[in-house]
Structure 1
């Protein structure tokens, strides 16, 4: 058992079997419909989320874990004598990071290291897996934190949003934009830049055109990719995810292209059939970090 235990929150969207295999601690965010609050991925699944949105006609609110939630999650590992590295959803998107920092102060100095991923979904998950491999190699929390700080700006996160409906319901685009976008079949593409969800460009026309554009964007940077691990992350778009995986495996020669399901928090902001390609670039020297 590594001396350092890696924690993440439910927005990392790592496959459940990976969480078990690599002993990754997971702290769920909250999803609230009216007076009912659910733990992301524990009390509510993504398919159930969409059923509730259809029933209520509105999106849920999402909330960060409290400092008490973090303390409760961290305490058993600290009591075992282990040190903790927790990698959070971007502080630009949630107060999760700040609450984890508050919780960390309740433990002896150096026992809990909190890192702001400045990302979301498997953009976090990529960093978590690098941290896991480093912990397995016996790296200290400080060394792991330094590694993640180097990797953070190299994470490429790009998602195709299938419909403007969820962006509209969530207040991220106007009713007129939603109407015009729907009529013209405009599909926005979101990138994560400096920890924020940023509209990168729009694709007009069929969904396949948008997916092809996203795939080509990734393949154009093939020479820059750390081919250790590439994620295709989706919200109820399994068929498209399988096809993107096949193409990435064929064109990149990556050691692993993994498919992951977006959880409730990510899905509540983006909507069904959202799909993304996420990977880490090599650094300026062409080095691959923490390769297993």
Structure 2
């Protein structure tokens, strides 16, 4: 059986990885005040980041249209889609509507709610590609990946909290206090795709130590497993974290990837995300 993989643009794969893994990307939209941007290959990310820093009004995003998903799902292959957490975006709902429309015309589709974003979606895409390449059938693939989603852990640290405050995901006063005290909250998925606060850190060394600690506290085995680190203009911290993880754990692969548009908007400059 032949399969297609579709992911929304919060899945921060590089162009090379997307081509290698044969993944079709469906773009989300971003807004800075009244100005709209499409999160695709035409996006000038450095320019977007500059405009975002200068924006004093609302910053937001919008999911892809169901029609974009429908068009991606059409054809003779079975399609698998991986979306950003349904509790963070309506991309998952749009994909389900697109699935229904495509299946009315004979398509075969399954949509995965990653209950994560960015690094988490990349990790799921890697596992999905591996299951397909190893010859697993549709039911086995769905069961295996849905099970992994329930166990996957996603954590992130933001240097700048402005966009979380602007989008109402963090209390304004709390954000100002944390920024003033130079405290970096270590946030992550609560297991159902919502953002939760786990601990906080000061300085790079403490950020690395506490992110690394989350793996031990999770009780997850690391031998033979993969971990993904995404970052927004922060390769130095990403590499230091990777080296710390190599010293403490037995991950088979550690992949570092730069964030694209939508993830850069929410992670903001210097943000870092980790999923395992």
Write the distance in 2 (CA, Å) between the matches of 1:51 and 1:181.
Answer: 23
Query: Which structure 2 segments of 5+ residues have no match?
Result: none
How many residue pairs get matched? Answer: 273
SS at match of 1:112: strand
Contact in 2 for aligned 1:28/1:42 (Cα 8 Å): no
SS at match of 1:225: coil
SS at match of 2:159: coil
Structure 1 residues 242 and 59: CA distance shift in structure 2, 3 A: farther
Write the distance in 2 (CA, Å) between the matches of 1:49 and 1:218.
Answer: 33
Give matches, 1:201-280, under 5 Å. 201-203=199-201, 205-219=202-216, 224-225=221-222, 227-279=224-276
Shift of 1:132: 0.9
Matched, 1:155 2:162: no
Contact in 1 for aligned 2:59/2:163 (Cα 8 Å): no
Give matches, 1:126-165, under 5 Å. 126-165=123-162
Write the distance in 2 (CA, Å) between the matches of 1:55 and 1:164.
Answer: 15
Write the distance in 2 (CA, Å) between the matches of 1:269 and 1:103.
Answer: 26
Shift of 1:174: 3.5
Write the distance in 1 (CA, Å) between the matches of 2:223 and 2:34.
Answer: 44
Contact in 1 for aligned 2:73/2:107 (Cα 8 Å): no
Matched, 1:37 2:36: yes
SS at match of 2:148: helix
SS at match of 2:185: strand
* TM-score in terms of structure 2 length: 0.90
* TM-score in terms of structure 1 length: 0.85
CA displacement, residues 60-119 of structure 1 (integer Å, 9 cap, x when unaligned): 3200000111122223xx1xx211111111111111111111111122356111121111
CA displacement, residues 130-181 of structure 1 (integer Å, 9 cap, x when unaligned): 1111111222332211111111111111111223222222223333323322
Write the distance in 1 (CA, Å) between the matches of 2:188 and 2:237.
Answer: 19
Write the distance in 2 (CA, Å) between the matches of 1:15 and 1:59.
Answer: 28
- Corresponding residue for residue 86 of structure 2: 91
CA displacement, residues 190-225 of structure 1 (integer Å, 9 cap, x when unaligned): 11121111111222x324322221123225557622
Write the distance in 1 (CA, Å) between the matches of 2:102 and 2:211.
Answer: 43
Write the distance in 2 (CA, Å) between the matches of 1:236 and 1:133.
Answer: 29
RMSD: 2.1
Structure 1 residues 176 and 105: CA distance shift in structure 2, 3 A: closer
Structure 1 residues 105 and 226: CA distance shift in structure 2, 3 A: farther
Query: Which structure 1 segments of 5+ residues have no match?
Result: 280-292
- Corresponding residue for residue 196 of structure 2: 198
Structure 1 residues 35 and 165: CA distance shift in structure 2, 3 A: closer
CA displacement, residues 238-282 of structure 1 (integer Å, 9 cap, x when unaligned): 111111112222332322111011222222223211112211xxx
